[in-house]
Structures are given as C-alpha cells and as structure tokens.
Chains A and B, each alone.
Chain A
Amino acid sequence: AQSVTQLDSQVPVFEEAPVELRCNYSSSVSVYLFWYVQYPNQGLQLLLKYLSGSTLVESINGFEAEFNKSQTSFHLRKPSVHISDTAEYFCAVSPTSGTYKYIFGTGTRLKVLA
C-alpha cells in the first residue's frame, strides 16, 4: 500500500519570495511521483512528474521538484512566486505497475500575498 503526506495544509508567502511545498510518501513498491495544481473551480492540472532518471524535474512555469529516494520525499519548490501561483497543490504517487491509480496527499493551499 502507498500513502502520501503533505504536512503543510496552508502556506502563505509574499510575492517574489521562494517557496517549498513538502511531500513525503511511503510505499512497498516502486512508484511514479506527480505534482498537480488545482485553481479555484477547476480540475487538477499536471505540474510535473518524476518517472526515472534525473532526480530534479522542472515545469514550464518555474516550479521544480526533487526526488529523494532515501528520504522518500518529492518536495516542490519555486525560487520566486507570483500572485497567479495561488492555488492548491497536490502530491500524488502511482505504482509503476497494475492500474496506475493515484494516491494523493491532502493538498497544500499556497496563498501568495502582495
């Protein structure tokens, strides 16, 4: 079985400041890792994914996440946030075989302040 922990339910941060959203997971099998973003009244949009290879993955809008196998973590970072980054962020894992269903964390609400 798998589980995902997002310790921070809410993260307020000032515009142009850096931010880190934490994600830890537990799994007895190999997993793929994902970050999704949800803007108000919208669905979940893929932000980035880790499948294999380089442990640092980047998105087109400046976010990055680093897979750390020893710490079973996949923290999301951005060096300088914008007001438009205000949203809820979900970390998810998926087994690398079977139905590839997602197991989600509880989400972190990022609020960027002017």
Chain B
Amino acid sequence: EPEVTQTPSHQVTQMGQEVILRCVPISNHLYFYWYRQILGQKVEFLVSFYNNEISEKSEIFDDRFSVERPDGSNFTLKIRSTKLEDSAMYFCASREGSGGQPQHFGDGTRLSIL
C-alpha cells in the first residue's frame, strides 16, 4: 500500500538556524498538509497546500515558515530562525481528492531545537 514518507525521522538543530523537513506524499494525491504535535499536546494544523499554493494556514504558521513542492514529488516545510518552542513532532499528510477522502499521514519528524 502506498504511503507518505518523511525524512529525517529526527532532526536536531541549534536555535536560530534554518531547518527543512521533507515529505514525499502518495503519488496521485493532490492535497497536502503539515501538522505538528508538541509533546503532550494535541495535533495542530499548520498549513494546507493545493494546486501549488497555500490554501489555508494557521496562526502558528508565521513568517518563519514556508512550504514548497519543488519537483512534483517532494513537499517540504522550511522553518527559518528556529525557536525553542518549534520543538515538536511534525507530520505531513496527503489526500487524493476533495470531499470526505481521508488524509494519509507520514510517521513524522521529531524536531528538537537546542
């Protein structure tokens, strides 16, 4: 069964540095998402991406965050000037089409900011 893959599984970065989290969604999917889960808290929506542009973003997704789908297969989340509070598990998800089709999630990248 096709799956969403995320790399790396764990990323350690110094505060203030830039980090790129990578995701390969399922190949025929059209809608892409990033979520994050701070340890002990709920999974929170960050951003949705469709037709090569952001369709919705949350308040968490400030100017330091950006997403890109550079080559039709990868879907990346970049965080500039990282802060301690960016430490979390980041999940990528994709969905085939509109309506009630469920999102498929990757195993996540644990981001630790030191």
Contact = CB atoms under 8 A, between A and B. Distances in A.
Contact of B107 (A42, A94, A100, A104): A42
A49 B104 CA distance: 13
Interface in B50-105: 50, 55-56, 91, 93, 95, 98-100, 102-105
A84 to B, nearest CB: 18
B104 A46 contact: yes
Given A98-B56, A99-B55, A104 B42 contact: yes
B100 A101 contact: no
Interface of A: 32, 34, 36, 41-46, 49, 51-52, 90, 92, 94, 96, 98-107
A19 B44 CA distance: 26
Contact of A100 (B31, B44, B104): B31
B105 A101 contact: no
